[in-house]
Each structure stands twice: as C-alpha cells, then as structure tokens.
Structure 1
Amino acid sequence: MQISVANLASTLQTLFTATADRLARETQFVQRVWTITGGSFAQAVVFGWAHNPAATVDELAAALGVHPQSVHDRFNERGRAFLESLLAHAIDRALAATPILPRLLTTFTGAYAEDGTTVALPPDAADRRPGTTGNGPEVGAAAVKIFTRWERTTGAIDRLILSAGKPSDHPSARAIPDPPSGALVRADLGLFDTDRLTAWNAAGIAWISRVPTGITVTYDGRTQSLHTFLSGSSEDARDLAIELGANAVPCRLVVRRCPPAVVAQRLARVIETARRKQRAVSPAQRVMCEWTVHATDIPARVLNPVEVWMVSRARWQIELLFKGWKSVGGLAASKGTTGDRVECEILAKLIGQIVCQWGMLLRGGPLTGVNQTAARKQVQHHAMASRIAIAAAGDQLNLVITNLKKFMDRMGVPKRRRASTLKLLSRKHLTP
C-alpha cells in the first residue's frame, strides 16, 4: 500500500483498535470485559516504548490508568502470542514509499536485502528460545533472532520472522515466499543456500551473493574449492561463467583482488575471531582475505563487474535499519528479568519500530539520503500524540500525521564526504 497521510492514519486506527481487540480475543489475551482491552494495551506499550524506550512499567500503567501489577501480569505466554500476532498483522500492511530507482536498479521489479539480528533474553527463556555462544552482547543461554527482508527502493518491510537465537537464519529464509519474478535479492553471507539460488534461477529472480570459503566451483570442466581456485590466479580481477557448489548452480563468479591495507584489516579480524574461539586460522581463510568474491545470475550486459560490486555494497542499509531499531528504538535494552517480560517488550518495541518506519516513509524510502537516525527520532517524538489521537478517534490522528509529515518534509539531505548510496547506484559508465 502506498504511504500517505490518509493511508497511515487508517492503518494505525484499525490496527490498534479493532484488529488489536480481535487478536486479543483470539489469543485469549483478553477473555472478559475488563479495564484493559487488546487495543488499549497495545497502544500503551507500543507507543509508550516508541516514545521512550526506557519507560518503566509504572509509566506504561499510568497511561492505562491501572495498577502497575496489572500490566506486569499481562507479560506472559498469552501476552507474547497477542503481540506476535499483532506484529504479523502490521507486517502484512506492507506500507511503502514511492519507489526511487537509480540507474543500476531500473532493470529490476524490486531490490531486496535479507539479514537477521539477534537480541538476548533472560536464561529462563532458553527452553523455547535457545541462544548462541560467543562473546557479543546478543549471546547467552536464550536469545531471539529477527529475520528481515527489506525492499530498498520503497523502504517496505516485506517479511519479518522471529525464531530462536541458536539456529542459523536458513530455516526462516526458507519459510518465507520468494520475492516476485524480476526482483533482485542481495542476501547476507550467512544465508548462502544453493537450493534457494537454484529455485531463484528457475523463477527468474536475480541475485547477488557473497560466497563462503568452503564452496566448490566448476570452471572449464574442473571442480575445485574456491580458495584453491583463487590461490592459483595471477589476475587481479576475473568475471567467469561457472557452476557453484554441489548443486552446480550456473552463475557468474566476479572476483577482485583486495589492496594490501584491506587484506591486513580482514586478516586481523579473522585472527581475532579465531583467538576468541581458540582455533587456528586456516590457509583457506588467509586466501579469502585477499579477495572480494561475489556470485550472481545477472548477465554482464545488465551489470558489469564494478556494478555488481556497487549494488552489493548497498546491502549495508539493512544493517543501519537494525542499528536504528536497537540504538534509537531500544530494542535490545530492557529492565525486565524474566523471559516473558523481556520478549513481550521486544515484540512491543518491534511493532513500534515498524510504525516508526511507516512514519519515516512519509519523507521517502532509504535511498532519499535523509539521515535515518534523525528521521526515526522525529517520528518517535510524535508517538504519544499518535496514541492519544488513536484513542480519541475522529480526525485527530489525521492532524497528528499531517503535522508529522510537515516536520519530515523539512528534513534536508545532509552533505556527505562520500557519495550517497543513491549517487553510487546512479552513476554512469562504471567500467571494470
């Protein structure tokens, strides 16, 4: 659905009243006539935490006009089911800005990025959400992983799935429908899957992917490991028709030798990771540090090697999306100490960030060049006014969103020392 003041107002009004009330009954979150309804609870926790990610339960309860314990008691299994169902309905709305199509993306019906981010949970959630091991802030006995597919020309959140932190992203990626034929997908290395690539080739879906160290390539009738293939290369750049992996996926292999400074940086990261995991750095890893490697099914007449690299680089925007959810939206910060309490807060904050994303689209998608952090803060500043307007019904919500759009329209594009993603993707005559 195309974003507009009227569409956003209608979506918010319906989602946080009639839809929330219905889902509360279906999930048995609300089983009788009570002070707290599905709509009032959703409005309080979603917009309350969107406005102030550090808000206490006492503050949320005050907005509802109930005792804090009444809110604490709703953070349970049924609360999780209710909020997760509300999140799914929010994603289904698929609000989108007018597409921005730089030159390198005009051939495709959409440009999708896939990735996941992980948030730690208290240990008592380990049975249903087992976590990961390591040293980062997102690791622990319990964690929730948020897999996201984002369309970058319109800013629409296409898919979002929650799962346990321990498994890889592959099950989530396989569980969602494929993008439309003619679309372009740039997936994270952790999502590399030759079965999906084979299916995308058959469905006419374009893709660009980084390639894992242990994969095999078949070139000129000879099959060998990728690192062996690269270690025998005397050229600094190659663009070859190959077959990839055990599935023999037909594609292009686009490789470029890295400058010494980049090799040193990569190798330092690999050595540090190996040290933390108490492992040795393998010869294959050392070879791969010397190369930037992409595989793609896009013909060279559509994207030459440099253009493949440029389009691939734009994937970093989804990492900024996750950063905004966590740093501005407080997704990974909670005062809760139990799994149910924290997971309910994560779900409420995630819904709030989806709503903020919709508000940001009033200024356009991520390729506009507007500072995404500043835009997110501006939308969050209007969150409480939106909540009050939803509760009041009438035309108040239209007025609040109209006012928000005026603020968003005044946001300029900051000057940058480096070219913006839009400019990079719009450049002409990018030659190898």
Structure 2
Amino acid sequence: MRCYASSVQCLSKIVPPSPYRSSWPRSGGDAEGAREPAVLVLSSLPGFDVLNGKLEGPLITDGRHSDKRSPLSVEELPEGSLVIADLGFWSVARFSQIARPGQGGKRRRYFLSRWQPGTKLRRRNGAEIVLRGILPKQVGERIEFGAVLGEQRLPVRVCIERVPREVGDQRREDIRERAQDHGHKPSEEVLYLADWTIVITNLPRRLVSFDEVLILLRLRWQIERLFRLWKEHGHLEDSRSKKPWRILTEIYAKLAAMVIQQWLLHEGCWQDPHRSLFKAAQVVRREANLIMRALYKGGLEEVLSDILSYMRSGCQMETRRQRPNTSQFLMGEPHRWPVRKELAARSVLT
C-alpha cells in the first residue's frame, strides 16, 4: 500500500451566538419534532492528511454549505494521493475529477468512500447490477467486482463484506437517530444494507488488498476524533459570557488555538503511528501558560522544544487485544469487526 498523501475530509458544525445566526444561515432539515431544531450553523471543514498531520483549513462556511461543495480544490491534491471522504462528500463528478491525472501528471489520484445507497452500479455493457442478488450471506464473507458509476461511466472497484449482526444493529440505531435529527424516516433499503460494508474506490488490487481497503476506511474517523478533540477538550462551543461579540470572538480564538495545537502535535508525535492525540493535547493544555509567558518574556524555542519532548516520551495509546486501535491495523494486524460490548466503547476518545 503506497500513497504519497492520504486526505480525509469531513464537516463539523458549531452553533454561533443567536444574534449572528442570520449571518451564518442554518442548514435544512429543521422539521417539527427534530431534536436539534436550530441544527448547527457555523462550519469548519478541513482536509486532513493522515500521513503527515497536515491540516488544510479549517475553512469557515455557513450551515447551508453542502459537503459536496467543499471549498478545498481537487486540483490541489498531489499526484498519487488518496482521498477518503464520508458520504456527505459523495459526488461521482468529484470522484471523476480526483481520478483524472493532473496536467502533465503520470501518477493517478485515488478516492475511497462508502457506497451511497440508491446509486446505480452498472457493468461496462450498461447492465444494472442488482446488489440484493449478489450480497454475501455469511458474516465475514466478501465479494469484489468492477463496475461503472454515473454518466461519467467512472470505473470503480466495489468491495462488499457482510458484518456481524451486532455491527449492523448499531448502524441501524445510528441511522434512525440521524434521520430523527433531520425530521425524516430512513428508507427500508438503507436499514437493510446496514448489514454490509460496501466500499467503492479506484485503488487497484495490486496496490491495496481487500483488508487494506477496510482499514483505510477506518481512517475517516480520525478527523471525527479531531473535531471531537476540538469541541470537547478545546471547548469550542463553551463560553461563560452572555455577550454575543465576546462569544463569537472566543470561537475564532479557540479555532486559532486548535490550529496551533495541531501544529504542535504534528511536530511532537505524528511520526509515531500509535500516538494518542488526546494525551498529546493534554500536554499542550498543561504547558499553555508557559507558551504565553515565553511569547512575552522570550525563550519560546526552548519551551516548545520541551513540550515536543514531553509528547515524544509518553503520548501513546495502549495496545488492545479485544478492540485494536486503527494504528494496530495499519501496522499489520488483520482487520476484524468489534463485538457488541466493544461497540459501546467506541465513543471513547483515544
């Protein structure tokens, strides 16, 4: 598996103070009975290179800005790179742009995504592929085949695996919760297909095996964890003030602080595949006052050097046998799905 860059893209949202919500329009889905009628309307959308920790963004847009209209340019992706995007970024036209070599380029760019239910898969002769007739029946059973997508007739590799019932049940629960938040009911097809992981990619088998496709798919959670780190531990949405301008200023200041924190994590521990961003971020918060003092009195280089040393000496995740970390899979452990009691622990930030 050889990639020159691996970009994960996702979207997260922050609620701005009430007086400024007209400046940051809400997204749709505010149906009666939804649990979050105001939705979340200030968006930060970075592209995240998981190979080196480089952050493209965050870029601020209003809540109506679709993931599909990402301001991050496909043309800026380096040749040989891999884009791993969630379903919010699903766009066959965008996948076609990614797969097209740059001007004068010889190496292709690659994409990997879950399949969007309802999207037609066709054979090269134009015949539609009916998934229900070919889906694996046994847990752990896999199939893969070639297909074409959309009017662009984009050639893709389709990888399908039947997941344990516990995993499918957890997915259905999540699907129903998200649908309720947006005021609609999920389709029967979406609920039925939760028992399978269906991935589309243009990565050839000679570069990436089926197991590696599933492991790469797990990387999309890394940016979710980054957002969670920013929100829960950077307190992006928290303020003790009731003054709208003060709250909005704090949001921007905290976003700036999170970008600086990410730079320190990049320099301090990104070279370690078993790094714990949570532990490394704790080091940054613990030493933040020293950074502020050094900015005023001098000695910043020495302070930063000490902080990076702290990160390198003790900011690793523990190796787990029952619920392996993504880094363990990346380092060669065979992919496997967690059992139900382990699924409850997946929300733990590591």
Q: Which residue in the other structure is 2:280 paired with? A: 375
Which whole-Å deviations, capped at 9, do the CAs of 1:92-133 have from their partners, x for residues lacking one? xxxxxxxxxxxx3xx111111111110011222122201235
1:29-44 equivalence runs, <5 A: none
**1:305–1:145 distance in 2 versus 1, CA, 3 Å:** same
Q: Contact 1:185–1:206 at 8 Å: present in 2 too?
A: yes
The one of 132, 136, 149 equivalent to 1:231 is 132
**1:379–1:281 distance in 2 versus 1, CA, 3 Å:** closer
Q: Determine whether 1:364 maps to 2:265.
A: no
**1:420–1:297 distance in 2 versus 1, CA, 3 Å:** same
The one of 140, 149, 153 equivalent to 2:47 is 149
RMSD: 2.6
Secondary structure, counterpart of 2:76 in structure 1: coil
Report deviation, 1:315.
1.8
Q: Which residue in the other structure is 1:171 paired with? A: 69
The alignment covers a number of residue pairs equal to: 320
The one of 203, 206, 211 equivalent to 1:298 is 203
Report deviation, 1:357.
1.4
Residue type of the alignment partner of 1:360: L
Q: Which residue in the other structure is 1:333 paired with? A: 238
Between 1 and 2, higher relative CO (CA 8 Å, sep ≥ 6) is seen in 1
Q: TM-score, normalization: structure 1? A: 0.68
**1:430–1:164 distance in 2 versus 1, CA, 3 Å:** closer
Q: Which residue in the other structure is 2:18 paired with? A: 123
Which whole-Å deviations, capped at 9, do the CAs of 1:39-88 have from their partners, x for residues lacking one? xxxxxxxxxxxxxxxxxxxxxxxxxxxxxxxxxxxxxxxxxxxxxxxxxx
Q: Which residue in the other structure is 1:48 paired with? A: none
The one of 112, 118, 121 equivalent to 1:217 is 121
Which whole-Å deviations, capped at 9, do the CAs of 1:174-220 have from their partners, x for residues lacking one? 55653101111101111111111111111221111112112111125
Identity %: 22
Q: Contact 1:254–1:295 at 8 Å: present in 2 too?
A: yes
Report deviation, 1:378.
0.9
In structure 2, stretches of 5+ residues that fail to align are 102-107, 337-350
Q: Contact 1:367–1:421 at 8 Å: present in 2 too?
A: no
Report deviation, 1:261.
2.2
Q: Which residue in the other structure is 2:294 paired with? A: 389
Structure 1 runs of 4+ off > 6 angstroms? 428-431
Q: Which residue in the other structure is 1:14 paired with? A: none
Residue type of the alignment partner of 2:65: P
Residue type of the alignment partner of 1:143: V
Q: Give the Cα separation in 2 of the matches to 1:280 and 1:169.
A: 21
**1:274–1:402 distance in 2 versus 1, CA, 3 Å:** closer
**1:146–1:427 distance in 2 versus 1, CA, 3 Å:** same
| Higher alpha-carbon Rg | 1
Report deviation, 1:293.
0.8
Q: Determine whether 1:187 maps to 2:85.
A: yes
**1:325–1:277 distance in 2 versus 1, CA, 3 Å:** closer
1:407-418 equivalence runs, <5 A: 407-417=310-320, 418=323
Q: Contact 1:216–1:223 at 8 Å: present in 2 too?
A: no
Q: Give the Cα separation in 1 of the matches to 2:292 and 2:62.
A: 31
Report deviation, 1:347.
1.1
1:48-59 equivalence runs, <5 A: none
The one of 380, 400, 413 equivalent to 2:303 is 400
Report deviation, 1:167.
2.5
Q: TM-score, normalization: structure 2? A: 0.83
Q: Which residue in the other structure is 1:161 paired with? A: 59
Report deviation, 1:150.
0.8
Q: Contact 2:219–2:326 at 8 Å: present in 1 too?
A: yes
In structure 1, stretches of 5+ residues that fail to align are 1-103
